[in-house]
Structure 1
Amino acid sequence: MQKKNLAALLAAMFALPVVAHADVTIYGFLSGGIESSKATGSGGSEYSSRTRIVDHNSRIGFKGFEDIGGGTKAIWQVENSLRNFEQGGTNDKGQSATFATRNTFIGLDNGDFGRVLLGQHDSAYKMFTGSSNSALGTDLMVNTTADNFGSSSVNSRGEARMANSVHYFSPSWAGFKLGASWGVDESRVSGNDSKRISLGLGYTWQGLNLAAAWDRQYDTAVIANTNSYNNSSPAVLSLNSGKNVTFYGLAASYKFDTGTFVGGNYEWGTYDQVGGGQVKQDDWLIALGQDFGAASVKLSYGQLGTLKNVGAGVNGDDFKAKQWTLGGTYNLSKTTQVLAYYTKISNNAKAKANFANNPVYDSNLGASNASLTAGNDPQAFGVGFKIAF
């Protein structure tokens, strides 16, 4: 009898943690590949052609909820980057991934009202017109080197993941969704309040997806006659007071019953300059795709336009860039996929557009100030393998 009671007690002790954490979901994916890449053309420092083993934005996450009644759940998520696993977790700027580097938050979720999140999360701009809108799908090779959406890329330069932030995302109301994000500035350098506000609106009907978004970075400016942010030191940051960087985005896509996909993005950015005045720049993208059973072929072209309102002696066309992407995927199962891509960015003389993932640097490689020389053209051809869990 004592042996049976002891066995029952031990079984109960080991069962308790399982019951307490029954609502926890572990999710993510590992994705990597081999590619040939280079960045040449400026006539100066260049990233010579080489073979790279690359990580395609791998991640692992933990999430859960508790039903607190009235149709409301308390929700939480901790998502961690596994990027650069192919070189021990350290990227080409010498940076290492830490815990909770991706969307990590606590919040409340109500089926009628929507979600309120507190922590770190993709902005409403990124969720509606950017790379985080998988339903829109215009970032065709998202998470790979051929991803072309990001603040230093050719398209969707207004998207961001916001730390120290509060977010609201509505449920679908007759196909419409709303989103809002507010990122607070906890450091307040030289009295600046560099908060960030982001708004998004989306509509979905069958295969149609439409989206509009707005994003503003307060007390933020660019160096005169450039699109480069003025953020080198506290003394320089004080010159940003009262100035803003603002983005407006529009996006649309349609998926036909035949498996044909068409979509596009348009973005307009206004940049206040430290010395007064404002420069402006737009970008646009056209994306096409076709499914053939488990396979899909994808093609996109994006362009970063002329920097407008620059001063005398500065050629705004020197800041233009464009990117071609041709890619394909094949689903071996529900969780395993093979992929291939070719992408090339063509930068004009003063443009430094780079890959959103696995960027290339021709100067100070391995150091925090690693950079790409203006006018160099990054390009990559790769094949890869992705396993989700």
Structure 2
Amino acid sequence: MKQYLVLAFTALPALAAAEVKMYGQIKSGIAAGQVKISGSNGSEKSAVATEIVDNTSRFGFKGSEKISDDLKAVWQVEQRISVINAREGWATRDSFVGLEGKFGKLRAGNISNQLNWMDNIDPWMYSNNALGLGVFTRTGNRKASIRYDTPKIAGFDANIQVSPRDNQNPADRRTHRQPEQTQYDAGLNYSNAGYFVQLGYNMRKNRYQNSNGAYKDSHVGRLLAGYDANNLFIGVGAQHAKGYETGNSYIGYFTNGFNSYNGASIREDKSEAVKVTDAAVTATYRFGNIKPQITYAHGWAAKGVNSGDLLVDKFDQIILGGDYRFSKRTSARLSMAHVRVGSKTRLNNGNTGKIQQTAAQLGLHHRF
């Protein structure tokens, strides 16, 4: 990556004439957390993991070029970076080239879908899902795709997006012997005088098999609504996902990597795709340099799409914390959280039990 950055900085004087902006943010902190799994055969606790973490730091370039009075070219190259040297790459985040005019905006590249954009209800800085709405926002993604956004009319705008089958499954692009996995997304947004409503939908072709072995499409729908003005933010959201993940994948969002119960994996017998509904509400208010925040989330039981069996029980999550702004660009973040997954969760070997996680983080956020 270093050689790319050298080239980018070398080219900055020439790029300045083409309306190029360099931007980014660094987010890091110290986090501590513990997971407890309890069942009929007793309980197990993880060690209290205390570590320096990176919270999705990023760096990018974006720009535009006027082609005519009604048309301009737009582009962006953004990448995930890490202050703890955990991950790096080039164009790993939203990166694209496209055209924008009175007709709207048309782009192609590595682009977030509507669900990935619907994250204003999740103001937290975290690398552990207990400390933020990682479970609620898990269905958002970023794919090689083409996306069209309409212009805003009377407060409304919409978008549609397609990621072709051969981008979704490149190993099969020359043979097409496997079922297609094309991804389709759509979104609708409204905002006026601080009030907002957002709808997002995602459909992925042939992502799970029914009881007869036939492939079925996965579906996700999400609704957000709230108010964001005059230093106050209140947002509430709900979503339903069917076939988006297996029970094993879903339970992994709550364990932070601690998946052992009595020496056996708690993820061994939940390979069936699940259907699950969850909801969240967040409120923040800024008093000068201080902004307290609170989030509550609830998820109903995750059940197998074919069997109807309860695989992962309902969950409840509470996050408390705040933001202290040292300047326009730099702020400190504190958060404390607890999440509990109900006692009917299938663990292993016929056992059922609950999962609890407690965590806290103190971090620093700088924008440039």
Q: TM-score, normalised by structure 2?
A: 0.77
Query: Aligned in 2, Cα 1:143/1:113: closer, same or farther, shift over 3 Å?
Result: farther
Is the CA contact (8 Å cut-off) linking 1:201 and 1:213 kept in structure 2? yes
- Aligned counterparts, 1:1-389, within 5 A: 18-22=13-17, 23-42=19-38, 46-83=45-82, 85-86=83-84, 88-89=85-86, 96-110=87-101, 112-127=102-117, 130-131=118-119, 137-141=120-124, 145=128, 148-150=132-134, 153=135, 155-162=136-143, 164-186=144-166, 187=170, 188=172, 190-221=177-208, 242-255=215-228, 257=230, 259-271=231-243, 280-308=275-303, 314-315=309-310, 318-348=312-342, 375-389=354-368
Letter in 2 for 1:141: W
Bigger share in strand: 2
The alignment partner of 2:116 has SS state of: helix
Find the aligned partners of 1:312 and 1:194 in 2 and give their Cα distance. Answer: 24
Identify the structure with bigger relative contact order (alpha carbons < 8 Å, sequence gap 6+): 1
The alignment partner of 1:48 has SS state of: coil
* Count of residues in correspondence between the two structures: 317
Query: Aligned in 2, Cα 1:385/1:272: closer, same or farther, shift over 3 Å?
Result: closer
Question: Counterpart of 1:363?
Answer: none
Is the CA contact (8 Å cut-off) linking 1:140 and 1:147 kept in structure 2? no
What is the Cα deviation at residue 313 of structure 1?
9.1
What is the Cα deviation at residue 271 of structure 1?
2.3
Letter in 1 for 2:357: P
Query: Aligned in 2, Cα 1:272/1:330: closer, same or farther, shift over 3 Å?
Result: closer
Find the aligned partners of 1:313 and 1:181 in 2 and give their Cα distance. Answer: 32
Query: Aligned in 2, Cα 1:206/1:386: closer, same or farther, shift over 3 Å?
Result: same
What is the Cα deviation at residue 223 of structure 1?
8.7
Query: Aligned in 2, Cα 1:25/1:35: closer, same or farther, shift over 3 Å?
Result: same
Find the aligned partners of 1:332 and 1:52 in 2 and give their Cα distance. Answer: 24
What is the Cα deviation at residue 20 of structure 1?
4.4
Query: Residues 150-175 of structure 1: CA distance to partner in whole angstroms, max 9, x if unpaired?
Result: 4xx2x13421112x201112232111
Is the CA contact (8 Å cut-off) linking 2:279 and 2:297 kept in structure 1? yes
What is the Cα deviation at residue 101 of structure 1?
0.8
The alignment partner of 1:219 has SS state of: strand
Query: Residues 269-306 of structure 1: CA distance to partner in whole angstroms, max 9, x if unpaired?
Result: 222999xx985321111111222112111111111212
Query: Aligned in 2, Cα 1:190/1:326: closer, same or farther, shift over 3 Å?
Result: farther
Letter in 2 for 1:118: A
Find the aligned partners of 2:146 and 2:284 in 1 and give their Cα distance. Answer: 35
**Same amino acid, percent of matched pairs:** 25
Find the aligned partners of 1:240 and 1:27 in 2 and give their Cα distance. Answer: 48
Is the CA contact (8 Å cut-off) linking 1:194 and 1:220 kept in structure 2? yes
What is the Cα deviation at residue 309 of structure 1?
6.3
Find the aligned partners of 1:159 and 1:378 in 2 and give their Cα distance. Answer: 23
Question: Counterpart of 2:268?
Answer: none
5+ residue gaps, structure 1: 1-14, 90-95, 132-136, 225-238, 353-373
Find the aligned partners of 1:341 and 1:273 in 2 and give their Cα distance. Answer: 28
What is the Cα deviation at residue 200 of structure 1?
0.5
Find the aligned partners of 2:244 and 2:286 in 1 and give their Cα distance. Answer: 43
Find the aligned partners of 2:61 and 2:180 in 1 and give their Cα distance. Answer: 33
Query: Aligned in 2, Cα 1:68/1:278: closer, same or farther, shift over 3 Å?
Result: same
Is the CA contact (8 Å cut-off) linking 2:131 and 2:335 kept in structure 1? no
Query: Aligned in 2, Cα 1:167/1:158: closer, same or farther, shift over 3 Å?
Result: same
Find the aligned partners of 2:210 and 2:355 in 1 and give their Cα distance. Answer: 21
Query: Residues 157-215 of structure 1: CA distance to partner in whole angstroms, max 9, x if unpaired?
Result: 421112x2011122321111111111112123742110111111010011101111111
The alignment partner of 2:180 has SS state of: coil
Is the CA contact (8 Å cut-off) linking 2:210 and 2:216 kept in structure 1? no
Query: Residues 198-256 of structure 1: CA distance to partner in whole angstroms, max 9, x if unpaired?
Result: 111010011101111111111101797xxxxxxxxxxxxxx986411101111101135
Is the CA contact (8 Å cut-off) linking 1:246 and 1:270 kept in structure 2? yes
Query: Aligned in 2, Cα 1:36/1:143: closer, same or farther, shift over 3 Å?
Result: closer
RMSD of Structure 2 on Structure 1 (CA): 3.1
Query: Aligned in 2, Cα 1:173/1:212: closer, same or farther, shift over 3 Å?
Result: same
Query: Aligned in 2, Cα 1:386/1:279: closer, same or farther, shift over 3 Å?
Result: closer
